[in-house]
Chain A
Amino acid sequence: MNSHDTISKKSRALFEHSVATLDIATANRLRLMRRDTLSQQAPGRFKAFLIPISATLAIGLGVAIFLPQFQASKTITEQDTVYISAEDDADADMLTWLADAPVEVSSHLQGSL
């Protein structure tokens, strides 16, 4: 048996023995540690979602507070009212007439229509 095997076997045996004969106090501490760890929430995922959720909530809250005020300031006042003048009435009549007006189709377009 070469020295590689000797060191390998002996170190492995020593390691297995040390694991098997771990003192009770340390084993108990490890058990409690495991229990505490498993009772926790997974930290990484919670932290990963915390920032986007907080940002979304803050933006939503801001919109909810300031949007009604913005809309209220945009209510139509007397000054904003646009009165339709007589000239506008005439334009409207003309446009109505144009919509119903007969259209003469020229001879060179007849084939394409």
Chain B
Amino acid sequence: MTAAITTRMVFEQNGSNEIAADDAAIRLPATLDEFLAGVERRAFRMAELALGHREDAMDVVQETMIKLLQYRDKPAAEWSPLFWSILRRQLTDKHRRNAVKKRVMQFFGKSDPQDEDPIEALPDQNEDPLRRLTDDNSWQALGKAIRALPARQRECFLLRELQGLSVLETAAVMGCSDGSVKTHLSRAMSALRIHLEDWQ
């Protein structure tokens, strides 16, 4: 087993203290299978937040995995930025396709059947119902607030705040400067502060 290299999954807060996200710490994976096993759930949740639909999120994650196969010969250290970069593009494409679909449906006077996800209504018996209800409500509120953000701010928040990529990694994934990342993130946080007023 290769020596575990812990990368910086450290969230900088106001430049002073730092919170090491031990559970999110990344070791260099030995195989692509190991890498995908480590990120698939996070990718799915991120896609779900961005799209608001579980089946769409599942499709996006699958497409991302398939596209990552092209880079399986690359060094393991490059898989992570490649994966998040591909996922970001897939999410953008899906948003565009959904927007076009919605416009066409509206033109023909039909409602979008994707608005309601039946899987969301299924109960999960593993958890305390009250806790689940509270978490569900918060989750829904977070998802709604994130989807209301402009695309670049949304991507920035998902990658930087939720996935925990560093500013430089986020900039590389988004294809912009680190200054832009900070600007987008600041604007995203300001917008979320308004949308999630109850959380404060």
Interface residues of A (CB under 8 A from B): 3-8, 10-12, 14-19, 21-23, 26-27, 29-31, 33-34, 37-38, 40-45
* Shortest beta-carbon distance from B80 to chain A in Å: 16
List CB contacts (< 8 Å) of B1-15 with chain A.
11, 13-14
> Which of under 10, 10 to 19, 20 to 34, or 35 or more describes the interface residues of B?
35 or more
List CB contacts (< 8 Å) of B134-149 with chain A.
135, 138-139, 142
Given contacts A7-B196, A30-B61, A33-B61, contact A19 B69 (CB under 8 A): no
Q: B152: CB under 8 A from chain A?
A: no
- Selected from B54, B70, B162, B189, the residue in CB contact (under 8 A) with A26 is B54
B66 & A18 in contact (Cβ 8 Å cutoff): no
Provide the bound-state CA to CA distance between A27 and B65, in Å.
15
Question: What is the interface of chain B mostly: helix, strand, loop, or mixed?
Answer: helix
Residue numbers in A under 8 Å from B151 (CB-CB): none
A14 & B142 in contact (Cβ 8 Å cutoff): yes
Interface string of B58-93 (1 = CB under 8 A from A): 100110011101101000000000000000000000
- Selected from A7, A22, A23, A34, the residue in CB contact (under 8 A) with B37 is A34
A43 & B41 in contact (Cβ 8 Å cutoff): no
Q: B124: CB under 8 A from chain A?
A: yes
Residue numbers in A under 8 Å from B14 (CB-CB): 5
B58 & A17 in contact (Cβ 8 Å cutoff): no
Residue numbers in B under 8 Å from A27 (CB-CB): 41
Which 4 residue pairs across A and B have the least CB separation, nearest first?
Answer: A44-B70, A37-B65, A42-B69, A15-B162
Interface residues of B (CB under 8 A from A): 11, 13-14, 21, 23-24, 32-33, 36-37, 40-42, 44-46, 49, 54, 58, 61-62, 65-67, 69-70, 72, 124, 126-127, 135, 138-139, 142, 161-162, 164, 189, 192-193, 196, 199-200
Residue numbers in B under 8 Å from A6 (CB-CB): 199-200
Residue numbers in A under 8 Å from B21 (CB-CB): 16
Given contacts A14-B138, A34-B40, contact A8 B33 (CB under 8 A): no
Residue numbers in A under 8 Å from B54 (CB-CB): 26
Provide the bound-state CA to CA distance between A12 and B13, in Å.
13
Given contacts A19-B42, A19-B45, A33-B58, contact A7 B192 (CB under 8 A): yes
Provide the bound-state CA to CA distance between A102 and B40, in Å.
93
Given contacts A16-B24, A21-B126, A38-B36, contact A8 B69 (CB under 8 A): no
Provide the bound-state CA to CA distance between A93 and B189, in Å.
103
* Shortest beta-carbon distance from A50 to chain B in Å: 14
